[in-house]
Amino acid sequence: METASHNPLTVGIQRTLLPEPCSLVIFGGAGDLSRRKLLPAIYNLMQGGVLPANFAVVGFARTDHTDESFRQLARESIQRHSRRPLDEDAFAGLAQRLFWVRGSFTDPSATHRLRERLEEIEPRCGVPGNRLFYLSIPPSAMAACAEQLQTAGLVRPPGAREFTRIVVEKPIGHDLASARELNAGTARVFDESQVYRIDHYLGKETVQSLLVMRFANSIFEPLWNHKYVDHVQITVAEEEGVGTRANYYEEAGALRDMVQNHILQLLCLTAMEPPWALSADVVRDHKLSVLNCLRPIAARDVEQHCVRAQYASGFLHGAEVPGYRNEPGVKPDSTTETYVALRCFVDNWRWAGVPFYLRTGKRLPKRASEIAVQFREVPPILFNVDADSPLEPNVLTVRIQPDEGLSLRIATKLPGPKVRIYPVKMDFRYGTTFGDQSPEAYERLLLDVMAGDATLFMRRDAVEASWTWIQNVLDAWSAKPTRWLPLHPAGTWGPLEADRMIGADGRAWRTL
């Protein structure tokens, strides 16, 4: 697929905000997220020439690191996880801006030491006092951490000359009540404009391009409604099992871990109305409208509209893998779902009667995430008259990972004297067309926090609206406890119950 010869900087969404010089303090600076995502992202941003010239990165945790050992940890993290190879000269420049402060965020003396260290580091690095605090810590500790930052004098009010912002990682609560409590605790210290609730899915290149695809191309938007769309499938499939996250996953499960945040955000971008501007609150207002239009699933209807299951032992790529209940750290009688499928409806004028099918699971055949919009069938006239062999419908598929791009399935005539119809794909792939690796999600999101652009971050009201919808399902499950969930062998696409749910509507799950 060819691209136009225009300068790509002039045809995309214009950025009006630029990242500002700042200090980035990572609470949990030696943790898994910091090593796998944040430190490599900072390196890639610096290598790409988009990081502010004056910046500092401070790791903070109880781990017994020094500046030098933290720099070595960063070097190893970049070697292992960065999309760009490690360049020694470039890393040497980054290393001079990496620092460590040892302590607990619940210890007032430690947060005071952090303030003193920042006041020492920032003049040396040319940072004017702007600060980002990245809370890569358990949700239950976030309110206490925010209070300690305030006690240490590290929180400036909104509108101050030097900004203070915090980044909050998911999970944002365990249910509606805990999400409200966490948000309220954060709000006691920070204004909403200072809080950036991160969902890394919103930083993925294809997810960002959804709005461009819908609203910068005249061919899609006239069809993007109940008159032409039969249904929508949103799939987030994972190959891996629970791995080392059993303690977290036992408390969360697939509904909390993936649907409440990632998948509902994808649904919002797919279903939202055209925003009248691309400013953060306008876009987020329109996404909130979708959540407010989601039809609540009544307790009596949960079994009809929602399927939960666990993966059993099976084979993945020829290797035998254990079932969920046999994974280390998982209770042998666990009823935590590792797979969930839902049928939901957006009750507004555009989407009335169109089902949205959502599914996610672990130990599925491949790692893949996509949004598939299936259009209505053509009338049973001319080429679609044979009821026993109907034409395959048109499907627009947005691939989010790993093969970023989109495809459109259309019907065409096979060459030859007879009229024989065959489905073909018109396919666009980011890597093939643009020839370079897409930035990692955390690169874009960190840059946006530095620029003060909250468009891709979740607002408090949207978080609580998504939990409100999810809570109906959680409450129904709690009211009818079970000792066993449906099982599907590892390496398969889910349980028969999920096939029956969508099959009752005369539809079927896509094979990715």
Side-chain-facing half-sphere of 186: CA atoms under 13 Å: 28
**Predicted local distance difference test score (pLDDT) of residue 378:** 80
Supply the pTM of this predicted model: 0.90
Element (H, E) at 46: helix 39-47
Residues in the chain: 512
What does the block give as tokens for 166?
């915090």
Q: What b/e readout covers 81-95, taking b as 16+ CB neighbours within 10 angstroms?
A: bbeeebeeeebeebe
- Residue 502, classed as helix, strand or coil, is helix
**Predicted local distance difference test score (pLDDT) of residue 436:** 65
- CA dist 319 and 101 (Å) reads 44
- CA dist 48 and 18 (Å) reads 15
What does the block give as tokens for 414?
């096979």
The average pLDDT across 21-36 equals 94
pLDDT digits (tens, 9 = 90+) for 247-273: 889 989 999 999 999 999 999 999 999
The average pLDDT across 100-120 equals 92
- CA dist 332 and 308 (Å) reads 18
* Residue 21 pLDDT exceeds 90: yes
Residue 150 vs residues 26, 48, 136, 155, 291: alpha-carbon distances, Å: 16, 34, 18, 5, 33
pLDDT digits (tens, 9 = 90+) for 66-97: 999 999 999 999 999 999 999 999 999 999 99
* Residue 3 pLDDT exceeds 50: no
**Concatenated DSSP letters of 177-232:** HHHHHHHHHHHTTS-GGGEEE--GGGGSHHHHHHHHHHHS-TTTGGGSSTTTEEEE
Sheet with 22-27, strands from edge to edge, namely 98-102, 55-61, 22-27, 131-135, 164-168, 195-197
Confidence of residue 505 (pLDDT cuts 50, 70, 90): very high
- Tokens 């073909």 belong to 424
The least confident of 12-21, 148-157, 273-282, 494-503 is 12-21
The average pLDDT across 136-149 equals 88
Residue 151 vs residues 101, 106, 146, 189, 361: alpha-carbon distances, Å: 17, 11, 9, 10, 42
**Predicted local distance difference test score (pLDDT) of residue 205:** 79
- Residue 166, classed as helix, strand or coil, is strand
* Residue 366 pLDDT exceeds 90: yes
* Residue 8 pLDDT exceeds 50: no
The least confident of 4-13, 353-362, 484-493 is 4-13
- CA dist 345 and 298 (Å) reads 13
* Residue 456 pLDDT exceeds 60: yes
**Predicted local distance difference test score (pLDDT) of residue 465:** 96
**Concatenated DSSP letters of 126-155:** T--S-EEEEE-S-GGGHHHHHHHHHHTT--
* Residue 138 pLDDT exceeds 60: yes
Residue 368, number of CB atoms within 10 A of its CB: 17
pLDDT digits (tens, 9 = 90+) for 158-199: 989 999 999 998 888 899 999 999 999 999 999 999 999 998
- For residue 294, list its beta bridge partners: 346
What does the block give as tokens for 228?
């032409």
Of the two residues 356 and 17, the one the predictor is more confident about is: 356
Residue 338 vs residues 34, 220, 236, 323, 485: alpha-carbon distances, Å: 26, 35, 12, 10, 10
* Residue 12 pLDDT exceeds 50: no
Is residue 55 within 8 Å of residue 25, measured between CB atoms? no
- The highest-confidence range among 214-223, 286-295, 316-325, by mean pLDDT, is 286-295
Element (H, E) at 67: helix 67-81
Note every long-range contact of 322-330, with CB atoms under 8 Å and residues 24 or more positions apart, other chains counting. Answer: 322/241, 322/490, 323/487, 323/490, 324/241, 324/242, 324/362, 324/363, 327/241, 327/242, 327/246, 328/246, 329/242, 329/244, 329/246, 329/247, 329/250, 330/242, 330/246, 330/249, 330/250
Q: Which residues are catalytic?
A: 262
**Predicted local distance difference test score (pLDDT) of residue 168:** 93
- For residue 99, list its beta bridge partners: 58
- CA dist 56 and 47 (Å) reads 15
Residue 231, number of CB atoms within 10 A of its CB: 19
* Residue 315 pLDDT exceeds 60: yes
The average pLDDT across 126-149 equals 91
Percent of the chain clearing pLDDT 90 (strictly above): 70
Helix/strand/coil percent split, the chain, to 5: 40, 20, 40
- CA dist 294 and 116 (Å) reads 48
**Mean pLDDT across the chain, nearest whole number?**
90
**Predicted local distance difference test score (pLDDT) of residue 317:** 87
Sheet with 355-361, strands from edge to edge, namely 421-429, 405-413, 395-401, 368-375, 229-237, 355-361, 339-345, 306-312, 487-489
pLDDT digits (tens, 9 = 90+) for 431-450: 777 766 677 889 999 999 99
* Residue 2 pLDDT exceeds 60: no
Of the two residues 404 and 445, the one the predictor is more confident about is: 445
pLDDT digits (tens, 9 = 90+) for 412-436: 777 777 767 777 888 888 777 776 6
Element (H, E) at 43: helix 39-47
- Residue 509, classed as helix, strand or coil, is coil
Q: Walk me through the domains of the chain, giving residue ranges and CATH numbers.
A: 16-169 (3.40.50.720), 202-503 (3.30.360.10)
The least confident of 99-108, 183-192, 219-228 is 99-108
